[in-house]
Amino acid sequence: MEAIKALGVDIKTGVTVGRDVTISDLRERGYRAFFLAIGAHQNISLNIPGEDLEGVVDAISLLFALNLKVGASVGSNVVVIGGGNSAVDSARTAKRRSKGVVRILYRRTAEEMTAVRDEVEEAINEGISIEYLTSPVEILGDGTKVTGIRCQRMKMGEMEADGRRRPEPIPGSEFVIDADHVVIAIGQRPNTSLLNIRWLEIDSDDATIKVEPLTLETRIPGIFAGGDCVTGPNNVVEAVATGLQAAESIDRYLRGRDLRKGRSPEKPQPVEIDVSERDASHYKRARMPATPPYKRMGRLEEIA
């Protein structure tokens, strides 16, 4: 942040574009080009009964509260639903603050989990259990608070269009587990409605902002977009790369130059490199030293 400020960038925090200030306001103040990089922070819900019970939260709210709010607490029987990075981060963060049990329910198998593999291993080392091939059917409560989850066992079925096999329920396999805190972490989508920008083209399936892939310009001249709000939940490296791509477009736009000339839509491709055994190291990849799992509990410091 300091390096960016040193370049002369003025950063205003605590401002929601669309609510506190609009793009039209900013245009009136003389700004001529805009880059939308609002991420994908709106939680996708499970659409099962009981999601509105006290003690049921989404991953982003849980992480926000535990990282930033003083006095935020977690239950003693936490169940996280999902298999991606936000599920594993939520479970590991909850485990550091919980005196009890934290487990993850995932409807597919370990191979299909989209979370970073090392993070999954660390979660298991920290005492988090993962129930694979398990899907929630109903969140149970006492009328106010969550008390458990009715689950069902799944089996892997036919291959789907995305190359992953579809999980299918096993009839008669329902069972109930106790829970006093349930975290829903099955994915997020961009919250574009908050932006309040008319004419922005939004994908009706996943709520991402549609852009011209080469320039990242939206269908409104001078408004560009990139990162998770265009790709859907992705990763830091690819989000940062779109920042660079948009900066090139914005620079051309402000100078009145052609946004496309000399640019290629082709992404860098991996190439095979012939490394002879003689050149390769005989040492195994070094493991980063890390704080042992028992010393990580009760705090949220970096572990490596």
Does residue 193 belong to the site contacting ligand FAD (CB under 6 A)? no
Token digits of residue 208: 């991402």
Of 87 and 139, which CB lies nearer to ligand FAD in the complex structure?
Answer: 87
Minimum distance from CB of 7 to ligand FAD (Å)? Answer: 18
For the chain, the straight-line distance linking the first and the last C-alpha, in angstroms and rounded, comes to: 22
Minimum distance from CB of 158 to ligand FAD (Å)? Answer: 29
Of 44 and 156, which CB lies nearer to ligand FAD in the complex structure?
Answer: 44
- Lookup result for tokens 């070094």: 286
For ligand FAD, the binding residue among 58, 122, 180, 228 (CB under 6 A) is: 228
Of 201 and 258, which CB lies nearer to ligand FAD in the complex structure?
Answer: 201
Binding letters toward ligand FAD, positions 125-164, x by CB under 6 A: ----------------------------------------
The 3-state DSSP class for residue 169 equals strand
Angle between helices 85-97 and 117-125 in degrees, nearest 10: 20
Q: Which amino acid is at 104?
A: I
Alpha helices in the chain (DSSP H): 2-6, 23-28, 59-68, 85-97, 117-125, 228-231, 236-255, 293-296
Site size toward ligand FAD, by CB under 6 A: 22
The DSSP element (H or E) to which 237 belongs, if any, is helix 236-255
Q: How many C-beta atoms lie closer than 10 Å to residue 149's C-beta?
A: 24
Q: Bridge partners of 148? A: 140, 178
For ligand FAD, the binding residue among 65, 101, 124, 239 (CB under 6 A) is: 239
Does residue 232 belong to the site contacting ligand FAD (CB under 6 A)? no
Distances (CA, A) of 137 to 18, 47, 48, 83, 175: 36, 9, 6, 17, 10
DSSP assigned state of 32:
-
Of 56 and 225, which CB lies nearer to ligand FAD in the complex structure?
Answer: 225
Pick the piece of the chain touching ligand FAD (CB under 6 A) from 5-13, 33-41, 42-50, 247-255.
33-41
Minimum distance from CB of 180 to ligand FAD (Å)? Answer: 22
Of 45 and 174, which CB lies nearer to ligand FAD in the complex structure?
Answer: 45
> Residues 77 to 106: which contact ligand FAD by CB under 6 A?
85-86, 89
Token digits of residue 29: 């103040």
- Provide the binding-site residues for ligand FAD, judged by CB under 6 A: 16-18, 37-39, 41, 59, 63, 85-86, 89, 116, 194-195, 227-229, 234-236, 239
